[in-house]
Homo-oligomer: A and B are copies of this chain.
């Protein structure tokens, strides 16, 4: 039950989106017990987004929302991997990328909460 959204000020082509989706679907396995089988992935490109008051360089804001909680170590590995994926595929400098985590107590699927 994870959900990963990437918001960026640049354009993401359909080809790149497909690649990102695949790589993020593998990266989620860094969180024990999680896999692409339960993952939703979302992208918002060409967003109005500023970092340090500027929007002249590519920026990405990534949010990882998951049911329950995992470990500090797992989150660290996922941050490294997601940052690497986005830096490589979208040519966004790692120091222009935030990755934010939200642990979630109540999460519904198929009409029922887990």
Contact = CB atoms under 8 A, between A and B. Distances in A.
B99 A102 contact: no
Number of copies of this chain in the oligomer? 3
Contact of A50 (B7, B21, B99, B112): B21
A59 interface: yes
Contacts of A47: 42, 44
Contact of A95 (B39, B48, B109): B109
Contacts of A113: 72, 75-76, 79, 99
Nearest to A81: B111
A113 B105 CA distance: 22
Interface string A24-57: 0100000000001111111111011111110000
